[in-house]
A and B are shown apart, each in its own frame.
Chain A
Amino acid sequence: MKALYRKWILNYWSPYLAMALAGVLSAVYFGITKTVWAVTGEFTRLGGHVMEWFGADVSDWGYFKLIGMQGNPVTRTDGWIVWGMFAGALVMVLLNNNFKLRIPRQKRRWAQAFAGGIVAGFGARLALGCNLAAFFTGVPQFSLHSWIFMASTAIGTYLGVKLIGASWWKGKPRLIKGPVEPARAASGRIQPLLGGLAALAYAILIVCFFVSGHKMLGVAALFGALFGILIERGQICFTSAFRDLWISGRATMTKAILVGMAVSSVVTLVIILANGMDPITKIAAPSTLIGGVLFGLGIVMAGGCETGMMYRLMEGQVVFLPVFIGNIAGAGLLAYAWDHTFIYRRLVETGSKINLIDKFGAGGAIAATLIVLGLLFAIARYWQNHYRFGTGFRKGAAKNVH
Protein backbone atom coordinates (compact mmCIF):
# COMPACT_ATOMS: atom_id res chain seq x y z
CA MET A 1 0.00 0.00 0.00
CA LYS A 2 2.75 2.38 1.01
CA ALA A 3 4.77 1.46 -2.08
CA LEU A 4 1.75 2.04 -4.31
CA TYR A 5 1.12 5.42 -2.70
CA ARG A 6 4.74 6.37 -3.20
CA LYS A 7 4.72 5.27 -6.83
CA TRP A 8 1.45 6.87 -7.90
CA ILE A 9 0.97 9.81 -5.60
CA LEU A 10 4.49 10.92 -4.72
CA ASN A 11 6.04 10.51 -8.15
CA TYR A 12 5.44 12.30 -11.41
CA TRP A 13 3.94 10.07 -14.07
CA SER A 14 5.20 9.37 -17.54
CA PRO A 15 3.65 12.02 -19.81
CA TYR A 16 2.83 9.25 -22.30
CA LEU A 17 0.77 7.39 -19.73
CA ALA A 18 -0.91 10.60 -18.54
CA MET A 19 -1.87 11.62 -22.07
CA ALA A 20 -3.07 8.16 -23.07
CA LEU A 21 -5.31 8.08 -19.97
CA ALA A 22 -6.54 11.61 -20.72
CA GLY A 23 -7.33 10.41 -24.25
CA VAL A 24 -9.44 7.52 -22.98
CA LEU A 25 -11.16 9.61 -20.29
CA SER A 26 -12.02 12.44 -22.67
CA ALA A 27 -13.57 9.95 -25.11
CA VAL A 28 -15.61 8.37 -22.30
CA TYR A 29 -16.63 11.83 -21.07
CA PHE A 30 -17.91 12.59 -24.56
CA GLY A 31 -19.83 9.31 -24.57
CA ILE A 32 -21.57 10.19 -21.30
CA THR A 33 -22.21 13.92 -21.69
CA LYS A 34 -22.11 14.47 -25.49
CA THR A 35 -19.73 17.36 -24.85
CA VAL A 36 -15.94 17.41 -24.98
CA TRP A 37 -13.30 18.18 -22.38
CA ALA A 38 -12.83 21.93 -22.84
CA VAL A 39 -12.16 24.96 -20.69
CA THR A 40 -12.04 28.23 -22.62
CA GLY A 41 -15.73 28.24 -23.53
CA GLU A 42 -16.43 28.45 -19.80
CA PHE A 43 -13.77 31.16 -19.42
CA THR A 44 -15.67 33.18 -22.03
CA ARG A 45 -18.90 32.73 -20.08
CA LEU A 46 -17.06 33.87 -16.94
CA GLY A 47 -16.03 36.97 -18.91
CA GLY A 48 -19.67 37.43 -19.90
CA HIS A 49 -20.83 37.19 -16.27
CA VAL A 50 -18.23 39.78 -15.22
CA MET A 51 -19.52 42.15 -17.92
CA GLU A 52 -23.08 41.54 -16.70
CA TRP A 53 -22.07 42.49 -13.14
CA PHE A 54 -20.82 45.75 -14.55
CA GLY A 55 -24.20 46.33 -16.12
CA ALA A 56 -23.57 45.26 -19.70
CA ASP A 57 -26.40 43.50 -21.48
CA VAL A 58 -24.76 40.63 -23.33
CA SER A 59 -27.96 38.71 -24.04
CA ASP A 60 -28.02 39.69 -27.71
CA TRP A 61 -24.32 39.13 -28.40
CA GLY A 62 -23.96 36.49 -31.09
CA TYR A 63 -21.04 34.75 -29.42
CA PHE A 64 -22.88 34.12 -26.18
CA LYS A 65 -25.87 32.83 -28.11
CA LEU A 66 -23.49 30.46 -29.88
CA ILE A 67 -21.89 29.04 -26.72
CA GLY A 68 -24.94 29.43 -24.46
CA MET A 69 -25.08 31.46 -21.24
CA GLN A 70 -27.71 29.46 -19.33
CA GLY A 71 -27.07 28.94 -15.65
CA ASN A 72 -23.90 29.90 -13.84
CA PRO A 73 -20.45 28.37 -13.33
CA VAL A 74 -21.67 26.00 -10.59
CA THR A 75 -24.71 24.73 -12.46
CA ARG A 76 -22.99 23.97 -15.77
CA THR A 77 -21.02 20.84 -16.58
CA ASP A 78 -18.41 22.99 -18.38
CA GLY A 79 -18.04 24.94 -15.14
CA TRP A 80 -17.42 21.81 -13.09
CA ILE A 81 -14.79 20.62 -15.51
CA VAL A 82 -12.89 23.83 -14.72
CA TRP A 83 -13.40 23.67 -10.91
CA GLY A 84 -12.64 19.96 -10.97
CA MET A 85 -9.35 20.53 -12.78
CA PHE A 86 -8.33 23.13 -10.22
CA ALA A 87 -9.37 20.81 -7.37
CA GLY A 88 -7.66 17.70 -8.74
CA ALA A 89 -4.42 19.54 -9.41
CA LEU A 90 -4.46 21.25 -6.00
CA VAL A 91 -5.00 17.97 -4.15
CA MET A 92 -2.00 16.39 -5.87
CA VAL A 93 0.19 19.43 -5.25
CA LEU A 94 -0.72 19.42 -1.55
CA LEU A 95 -0.30 15.65 -1.10
CA ASN A 96 3.18 16.14 -2.51
CA ASN A 97 3.91 19.01 -0.14
CA ASN A 98 4.74 20.98 -3.25
CA PHE A 99 2.77 24.19 -2.87
CA LYS A 100 5.06 27.17 -2.75
CA LEU A 101 4.50 30.79 -3.67
CA ARG A 102 6.78 30.94 -6.67
CA ILE A 103 7.24 34.62 -7.37
CA PRO A 104 9.17 35.84 -10.40
CA ARG A 105 12.17 38.00 -9.52
CA GLN A 106 11.89 39.99 -12.75
CA LYS A 107 8.93 42.39 -12.79
CA ARG A 108 8.54 42.20 -16.55
CA ARG A 109 7.15 38.65 -16.18
CA TRP A 110 3.87 40.04 -14.81
CA ALA A 111 3.23 42.23 -17.85
CA GLN A 112 4.31 39.45 -20.20
CA ALA A 113 1.95 36.99 -18.53
CA PHE A 114 -1.04 39.33 -18.69
CA ALA A 115 -0.40 40.31 -22.32
CA GLY A 116 0.10 36.68 -23.32
CA GLY A 117 -3.07 35.65 -21.51
CA ILE A 118 -5.13 38.20 -23.44
CA VAL A 119 -3.69 37.21 -26.83
CA ALA A 120 -4.13 33.49 -26.09
CA GLY A 121 -7.69 33.95 -24.78
CA PHE A 122 -8.69 36.02 -27.79
CA GLY A 123 -7.08 33.63 -30.28
CA ALA A 124 -8.49 30.49 -28.71
CA ARG A 125 -12.05 31.75 -28.80
CA LEU A 126 -11.68 33.17 -32.30
CA ALA A 127 -10.90 29.59 -33.35
CA LEU A 128 -13.75 28.25 -31.15
CA GLY A 129 -11.56 26.29 -28.77
CA CYS A 130 -8.16 26.13 -27.18
CA ASN A 131 -5.67 23.32 -27.18
CA LEU A 132 -8.48 21.10 -25.95
CA ALA A 133 -11.65 21.49 -28.04
CA ALA A 134 -9.73 22.68 -31.11
CA PHE A 135 -6.91 20.24 -30.69
CA PHE A 136 -6.65 17.45 -28.13
CA THR A 137 -10.37 16.70 -28.08
CA GLY A 138 -11.03 18.18 -31.56
CA VAL A 139 -8.84 15.82 -33.57
CA PRO A 140 -10.59 12.75 -32.05
CA GLN A 141 -13.92 14.26 -33.14
CA PHE A 142 -12.55 14.24 -36.70
CA SER A 143 -13.33 17.93 -37.03
CA LEU A 144 -11.19 19.51 -39.74
CA HIS A 145 -10.96 22.80 -37.85
CA SER A 146 -8.70 21.21 -35.26
CA TRP A 147 -6.09 20.28 -37.88
CA ILE A 148 -6.01 23.85 -39.17
CA PHE A 149 -5.76 25.08 -35.59
CA MET A 150 -2.90 22.73 -34.80
CA ALA A 151 -0.87 23.84 -37.83
CA SER A 152 -1.46 27.51 -37.20
CA THR A 153 -0.66 27.15 -33.50
CA ALA A 154 2.72 25.77 -34.56
CA ILE A 155 3.32 28.94 -36.63
CA GLY A 156 2.21 31.15 -33.74
CA THR A 157 4.51 29.45 -31.25
CA TYR A 158 7.43 29.92 -33.67
CA LEU A 159 6.76 33.66 -33.72
CA GLY A 160 6.41 33.55 -29.94
CA VAL A 161 9.80 31.91 -29.50
CA LYS A 162 11.40 34.62 -31.68
CA LEU A 163 9.81 37.21 -29.40
CA ILE A 164 10.69 35.71 -26.01
CA GLY A 165 14.26 35.07 -27.17
CA ALA A 166 14.85 38.82 -27.58
CA SER A 167 17.03 40.06 -24.73
CA TRP A 168 14.55 42.74 -23.60
CA TRP A 169 11.92 40.06 -23.15
CA LYS A 170 14.10 37.25 -21.82
CA GLY A 171 15.83 39.31 -19.13
CA LYS A 172 18.83 38.13 -17.15
CA PRO A 173 19.13 35.36 -14.58
CA ARG A 174 20.83 35.61 -11.24
CA LEU A 175 24.28 34.19 -11.89
CA ILE A 176 26.67 33.96 -8.96
CA LYS A 177 30.35 33.13 -8.95
CA GLY A 178 30.92 30.12 -6.75
CA PRO A 179 28.36 27.91 -5.04
CA VAL A 180 25.15 28.84 -3.29
CA GLU A 181 24.19 27.09 -0.06
CA PRO A 182 20.40 27.16 0.09
CA ALA A 183 18.86 26.91 3.52
CA ARG A 184 17.86 23.34 4.39
CA ALA A 185 14.16 23.00 3.92
CA ALA A 186 12.12 21.73 6.85
CA SER A 187 9.93 18.75 6.10
CA GLY A 188 6.26 19.70 6.18
CA ARG A 189 3.31 17.61 7.24
CA ILE A 190 0.57 20.20 6.98
CA GLN A 191 0.17 20.31 3.19
CA PRO A 192 -0.36 16.54 2.74
CA LEU A 193 -2.94 16.67 5.54
CA LEU A 194 -4.76 19.56 3.87
CA GLY A 195 -4.56 17.70 0.57
CA GLY A 196 -6.19 14.63 2.11
CA LEU A 197 -8.97 16.73 3.63
CA ALA A 198 -9.53 18.56 0.33
CA ALA A 199 -9.74 15.25 -1.52
CA LEU A 200 -12.28 13.96 0.99
CA ALA A 201 -14.39 17.13 0.83
CA TYR A 202 -14.38 17.05 -2.96
CA ALA A 203 -15.32 13.35 -3.04
CA ILE A 204 -18.28 14.09 -0.74
CA LEU A 205 -19.33 16.89 -3.09
CA ILE A 206 -19.31 14.51 -6.06
CA VAL A 207 -21.41 11.98 -4.12
CA CYS A 208 -23.84 14.77 -3.22
CA PHE A 209 -24.27 15.64 -6.90
CA PHE A 210 -25.19 12.05 -7.69
CA VAL A 211 -27.45 11.57 -4.66
CA SER A 212 -29.32 14.82 -5.33
CA GLY A 213 -29.98 13.81 -8.92
CA HIS A 214 -27.48 16.18 -10.59
CA LYS A 215 -25.85 13.28 -12.32
CA MET A 216 -24.18 15.23 -15.14
CA LEU A 217 -22.68 17.74 -12.72
CA GLY A 218 -21.30 14.83 -10.73
CA VAL A 219 -19.80 13.32 -13.87
CA ALA A 220 -18.24 16.67 -14.84
CA ALA A 221 -16.89 17.27 -11.32
CA LEU A 222 -15.38 13.78 -11.27
CA PHE A 223 -13.86 13.91 -14.76
CA GLY A 224 -12.62 17.47 -14.19
CA ALA A 225 -10.73 16.32 -11.09
CA LEU A 226 -9.30 13.33 -12.97
CA PHE A 227 -8.11 15.61 -15.79
CA GLY A 228 -6.56 17.93 -13.20
CA ILE A 229 -4.74 15.02 -11.57
CA LEU A 230 -3.47 13.79 -14.94
CA ILE A 231 -2.14 17.11 -16.19
CA GLU A 232 -0.48 17.87 -12.84
CA ARG A 233 1.10 14.42 -12.35
CA GLY A 234 2.16 14.23 -16.01
CA GLN A 235 3.22 17.92 -15.98
CA ILE A 236 1.38 18.11 -19.28
CA CYS A 237 2.16 21.30 -21.12
CA PHE A 238 0.63 21.89 -24.55
CA THR A 239 2.66 25.08 -24.86
CA SER A 240 5.94 23.24 -24.49
CA ALA A 241 4.81 20.60 -27.01
CA PHE A 242 5.24 23.27 -29.70
CA ARG A 243 7.53 25.83 -28.10
CA ASP A 244 10.30 23.51 -26.98
CA LEU A 245 10.72 22.20 -30.53
CA TRP A 246 11.76 25.70 -31.62
CA ILE A 247 13.91 26.34 -28.54
CA SER A 248 15.97 23.24 -27.88
CA GLY A 249 14.37 20.49 -29.94
CA ARG A 250 12.64 18.89 -26.96
CA ALA A 251 9.79 16.70 -28.21
CA THR A 252 8.84 14.64 -25.16
CA MET A 253 5.56 16.48 -24.67
CA THR A 254 4.88 16.66 -28.42
CA LYS A 255 5.13 12.90 -28.73
CA ALA A 256 3.09 12.24 -25.60
CA ILE A 257 0.25 14.45 -26.84
CA LEU A 258 0.30 12.75 -30.26
CA VAL A 259 0.02 9.36 -28.56
CA GLY A 260 -2.85 10.65 -26.42
CA MET A 261 -4.72 11.91 -29.48
CA ALA A 262 -4.23 8.63 -31.33
CA VAL A 263 -5.64 6.67 -28.38
CA SER A 264 -8.48 9.13 -27.99
CA SER A 265 -9.34 8.99 -31.72
CA VAL A 266 -9.75 5.20 -31.65
CA VAL A 267 -11.82 5.17 -28.45
CA THR A 268 -13.94 8.12 -29.60
CA LEU A 269 -14.71 6.44 -32.91
CA VAL A 270 -15.77 3.25 -31.12
CA ILE A 271 -18.07 5.29 -28.87
CA ILE A 272 -19.50 7.24 -31.84
CA LEU A 273 -20.23 4.04 -33.78
CA ALA A 274 -21.50 2.00 -30.82
CA ASN A 275 -23.93 4.70 -29.67
CA GLY A 276 -24.82 6.11 -33.07
CA MET A 277 -23.64 9.54 -31.93
CA ASP A 278 -22.73 12.53 -34.10
CA PRO A 279 -19.21 13.84 -33.67
CA ILE A 280 -18.83 17.46 -32.56
CA THR A 281 -17.79 19.48 -35.59
CA LYS A 282 -16.83 23.13 -35.50
CA ILE A 283 -16.54 25.70 -38.26
CA ALA A 284 -13.31 25.66 -40.22
CA ALA A 285 -12.77 29.19 -41.50
CA PRO A 286 -10.11 31.91 -41.82
CA SER A 287 -10.84 32.63 -38.15
CA THR A 288 -9.50 29.18 -37.24
CA LEU A 289 -6.19 29.97 -38.90
CA ILE A 290 -5.81 33.47 -37.45
CA GLY A 291 -7.04 32.30 -34.04
CA GLY A 292 -4.48 29.49 -34.00
CA VAL A 293 -1.60 31.84 -34.81
CA LEU A 294 -2.67 34.28 -32.09
CA PHE A 295 -3.20 31.44 -29.61
CA GLY A 296 0.28 30.04 -30.34
CA LEU A 297 1.89 33.45 -29.92
CA GLY A 298 -0.07 34.15 -26.74
CA ILE A 299 0.69 30.89 -24.96
CA VAL A 300 4.43 31.31 -25.53
CA MET A 301 4.27 34.91 -24.26
CA ALA A 302 2.31 33.76 -21.21
CA GLY A 303 4.40 30.64 -20.57
CA GLY A 304 1.37 28.41 -20.56
CA CYS A 305 -2.00 27.84 -22.16
CA GLU A 306 -5.45 27.84 -20.63
CA THR A 307 -4.97 24.24 -19.48
CA GLY A 308 -1.39 24.38 -18.23
CA MET A 309 -1.92 27.57 -16.29
CA MET A 310 -4.53 25.83 -14.14
CA TYR A 311 -2.21 23.39 -12.39
CA ARG A 312 0.69 25.87 -12.39
CA LEU A 313 -1.48 28.27 -10.45
CA MET A 314 -2.25 25.51 -7.96
CA GLU A 315 1.49 24.92 -7.54
CA GLY A 316 1.76 28.53 -6.46
CA GLN A 317 3.24 29.92 -9.66
CA VAL A 318 1.49 33.22 -9.09
CA VAL A 319 2.57 34.64 -12.43
CA PHE A 320 -0.24 32.52 -13.89
CA LEU A 321 -2.86 34.60 -12.08
CA PRO A 322 -2.48 37.47 -14.59
CA VAL A 323 -2.51 34.78 -17.31
CA PHE A 324 -5.88 33.52 -16.04
CA ILE A 325 -7.31 37.05 -15.83
CA GLY A 326 -5.85 37.80 -19.27
CA ASN A 327 -7.43 34.63 -20.72
CA ILE A 328 -10.86 35.70 -19.48
CA ALA A 329 -10.35 39.29 -20.66
CA GLY A 330 -9.16 38.14 -24.09
CA ALA A 331 -12.09 35.74 -24.46
CA GLY A 332 -14.52 38.49 -23.40
CA LEU A 333 -12.95 40.89 -25.89
CA LEU A 334 -13.43 38.37 -28.68
CA ALA A 335 -17.05 37.79 -27.66
CA TYR A 336 -17.61 41.52 -28.08
CA ALA A 337 -15.66 41.82 -31.32
CA TRP A 338 -17.43 38.76 -32.81
CA ASP A 339 -20.50 40.60 -34.07
CA HIS A 340 -19.66 44.21 -33.18
CA THR A 341 -16.79 44.28 -35.69
CA PHE A 342 -16.05 42.60 -39.01
CA ILE A 343 -14.87 39.35 -37.40
CA TYR A 344 -17.94 37.18 -37.84
CA ARG A 345 -18.91 38.59 -41.22
CA ARG A 346 -15.45 38.45 -42.78
CA LEU A 347 -13.63 35.64 -41.01
CA VAL A 348 -16.20 33.11 -39.83
CA GLU A 349 -19.33 33.20 -41.97
CA THR A 350 -17.41 32.05 -45.05
CA GLY A 351 -16.36 28.84 -43.33
CA SER A 352 -18.15 25.55 -42.97
CA LYS A 353 -18.31 22.58 -40.63
CA ILE A 354 -16.27 19.81 -42.14
CA ASN A 355 -15.98 16.40 -40.55
CA LEU A 356 -13.61 13.73 -41.80
CA ILE A 357 -16.19 10.99 -41.17
CA ASP A 358 -18.59 12.64 -43.64
CA LYS A 359 -15.80 13.05 -46.17
CA PHE A 360 -14.03 9.70 -45.97
CA GLY A 361 -16.31 7.44 -43.93
CA ALA A 362 -15.44 6.15 -40.47
CA GLY A 363 -12.66 3.85 -41.68
CA GLY A 364 -11.08 6.50 -43.87
CA ALA A 365 -11.30 9.13 -41.15
CA ILE A 366 -9.54 7.03 -38.53
CA ALA A 367 -6.94 5.82 -41.04
CA ALA A 368 -6.17 9.37 -42.19
CA THR A 369 -6.01 10.59 -38.60
CA LEU A 370 -3.68 7.83 -37.42
CA ILE A 371 -1.42 8.13 -40.47
CA VAL A 372 -0.96 11.88 -40.02
CA LEU A 373 -0.44 11.53 -36.25
CA GLY A 374 2.13 8.80 -36.94
CA LEU A 375 3.94 11.01 -39.46
CA LEU A 376 4.00 13.87 -36.98
CA PHE A 377 5.40 11.51 -34.33
CA ALA A 378 8.22 10.50 -36.70
CA ILE A 379 8.99 14.14 -37.47
CA ALA A 380 9.01 15.00 -33.75
CA ARG A 381 11.44 12.17 -33.11
CA TYR A 382 13.77 13.30 -35.86
CA TRP A 383 13.50 16.85 -34.57
CA GLN A 384 14.42 15.81 -31.03
CA ASN A 385 17.51 13.98 -32.27
CA HIS A 386 18.81 16.68 -34.59
CA TYR A 387 17.64 20.14 -33.49
CA ARG A 388 19.83 21.92 -30.96
CA PHE A 389 19.62 25.03 -28.81
CA GLY A 390 20.97 28.13 -30.57
CA THR A 391 22.08 26.28 -33.69
CA GLY A 392 18.96 24.52 -34.92
CA PHE A 393 19.57 21.90 -37.60
CA ARG A 394 22.99 23.18 -38.68
CA LYS A 395 25.51 20.44 -39.33
CA GLY A 396 27.89 19.58 -36.53
CA ALA A 397 25.70 21.36 -34.05
CA ALA A 398 24.31 18.07 -32.78
CA LYS A 399 27.72 16.97 -31.60
CA ASN A 400 28.13 20.10 -29.53
CA VAL A 401 31.41 21.91 -28.97
CA HIS A 402 32.64 19.55 -26.29
Chain B
Amino acid sequence: MSIDFALDVRGESCPYPVIYTLDTLKEMQPGQLLQVIADCPSSFRNVPEEVVKHGYTLVQEPQKNGRDIIFYIQA
Protein backbone atom coordinates (compact mmCIF):
# COMPACT_ATOMS: atom_id res chain seq x y z
CA MET B 1 0.00 0.00 0.00
CA SER B 2 1.68 3.23 -1.07
CA ILE B 3 0.43 6.27 0.74
CA ASP B 4 0.59 9.52 -1.20
CA PHE B 5 -0.39 11.98 1.53
CA ALA B 6 -0.91 11.93 5.29
CA LEU B 7 -3.24 14.29 7.08
CA ASP B 8 -2.54 14.70 10.77
CA VAL B 9 -5.63 16.22 12.40
CA ARG B 10 -4.85 15.19 15.96
CA GLY B 11 -5.95 17.93 18.33
CA GLU B 12 -8.59 19.24 15.92
CA SER B 13 -12.18 18.90 17.09
CA CYS B 14 -15.28 18.52 14.95
CA PRO B 15 -16.04 19.55 12.26
CA TYR B 16 -12.46 20.26 11.14
CA PRO B 17 -11.36 16.61 10.69
CA VAL B 18 -14.22 16.09 8.21
CA ILE B 19 -13.71 19.43 6.44
CA TYR B 20 -9.94 18.95 6.12
CA THR B 21 -10.32 15.37 4.90
CA LEU B 22 -12.89 16.23 2.22
CA ASP B 23 -10.92 19.36 1.20
CA THR B 24 -7.75 17.32 0.78
CA LEU B 25 -9.40 14.46 -1.11
CA LYS B 26 -10.88 16.98 -3.56
CA GLU B 27 -7.39 18.21 -4.47
CA MET B 28 -5.96 14.71 -4.97
CA GLN B 29 -5.83 12.67 -8.17
CA PRO B 30 -8.33 9.79 -8.40
CA GLY B 31 -6.65 6.61 -7.19
CA GLN B 32 -4.21 8.34 -4.85
CA LEU B 33 -4.18 7.21 -1.24
CA LEU B 34 -4.68 9.43 1.82
CA GLN B 35 -3.86 8.50 5.40
CA VAL B 36 -5.78 10.44 8.08
CA ILE B 37 -4.81 10.37 11.76
CA ALA B 38 -7.45 11.77 14.13
CA ASP B 39 -8.07 11.75 17.86
CA CYS B 40 -11.46 13.51 18.13
CA PRO B 41 -13.79 10.67 19.19
CA SER B 42 -16.65 11.98 17.03
CA SER B 43 -14.46 11.72 13.96
CA PHE B 44 -14.22 7.95 14.50
CA ARG B 45 -17.73 7.87 13.13
CA ASN B 46 -18.28 10.96 10.99
CA VAL B 47 -15.08 10.84 8.93
CA PRO B 48 -15.66 7.35 7.47
CA GLU B 49 -19.39 8.02 6.97
CA GLU B 50 -18.84 11.25 5.08
CA VAL B 51 -15.93 9.94 3.03
CA VAL B 52 -17.93 6.98 1.75
CA LYS B 53 -21.02 9.12 1.11
CA HIS B 54 -18.94 11.46 -1.04
CA GLY B 55 -17.84 8.59 -3.27
CA TYR B 56 -14.40 7.76 -1.86
CA THR B 57 -13.28 4.32 -0.70
CA LEU B 58 -11.98 3.20 2.66
CA VAL B 59 -9.31 0.77 1.48
CA GLN B 60 -9.04 -0.96 4.83
CA GLU B 61 -10.77 -0.99 8.20
CA PRO B 62 -9.89 2.03 10.36
CA GLN B 63 -7.00 1.20 12.68
CA LYS B 64 -7.16 2.06 16.32
CA ASN B 65 -3.85 3.09 17.82
CA GLY B 66 -4.38 3.84 21.51
CA ARG B 67 -6.55 6.96 21.56
CA ASP B 68 -5.94 7.78 17.91
CA ILE B 69 -7.57 6.36 14.86
CA ILE B 70 -6.08 5.99 11.40
CA PHE B 71 -8.07 5.94 8.17
CA TYR B 72 -6.83 4.90 4.72
CA ILE B 73 -8.88 6.53 1.98
CA GLN B 74 -8.61 6.29 -1.78
CA ALA B 75 -9.44 9.49 -3.65
A248 and B54 in contact (CB under 8 A), knowing A175-B6, A312-B13? yes
**A304: B residues at CB distance < 8 A:** 13-14
Task: Output the least CB separation between B68 and chain A (Å).
Answer: 6
Instruction: Collect the chain B residues with CB atoms within 8 Å of residue A173's CB.
Output: 7-9, 12, 16, 20, 24
Total cross-chain contacts (CB, 8 A): 134
Assess whether A399 is in contact with B55, with CB atoms less than 8 Å apart. Answer: yes
Q: How many residues belonging to B are interface residues under a CB distance threshold of 8 Å?
A: 42
Q: Which residue of A lies closest to B74 (CB)?
A: A402
A248 near B6: Cβ-Cβ < 8 Å: no
User: Does A71 belong to the interface (CB within 8 Å)?
Assistant: no
- Select which of A102, A177, A180, A402 is within 8 A of B13 by beta carbon: A102
In the complex where A170-B19, A317-B13, A389-B54 touch, is A402 in contact with B46 (Cβ < 8 A)? no
Q: Tell me if A102 and B40 are in contact (CB < 8 A).
A: yes
CB of A258, distance to nearest CB on chain B (Å): 18
Q: Which residue of chain B is the closest to A104 with respect to CB atoms? A: B11
B residues in contact with A100, CB < 8 Å = 39, 66-67
**Complex: A174 Cα to B12 Cα, angstroms:** 11
Interface assignment of B22: CB less than 8 Å from any CB of chain A: yes
A12 contacts which chain B residues (CB < 8 A)? 41, 44-45
B54 touches A400 (CB 8 A): yes
A185-B68, A186-B66, A399-B55 known; A250+B11 contact, CB < 8 A: no
Given contacts A303-B15, A388-B54, contact A317 B40 (CB under 8 A): yes
B49 and A250 contact, CB distance less than 8 A:
yes
The 8 A CB mask of B31-60 against A (1 = contact, 0 = none) is 000010101111011100110011110000
- If the complex has contacts A237-B14, A240-B46, are A180 and B8 also in contact, measured as CB distance less than 8 A? yes
Q: Is the CB of A244 within 8 A of B7?
A: no
Q: Which residues of A contact B40 (CB under 8 A)?
A: 102, 317
**A247-B14 Cα distance, complex, nearest whole Å:** 12
Nearest residue (CB) in B for A397 is: B54
Q: B residues touching A (Cβ–Cβ < 8 Å)?
A: 3-16, 18-20, 22, 24, 26, 30, 35, 37, 39-42, 44-46, 49-50, 53-56, 65-68, 70, 75
User: When A and B form their complex, which 7 residue pairs have the shortest distance between CB atoms, in order from nearest?
Assistant: A185-B66, A400-B55, A179-B3, A173-B20, A180-B6, A100-B67, A174-B8
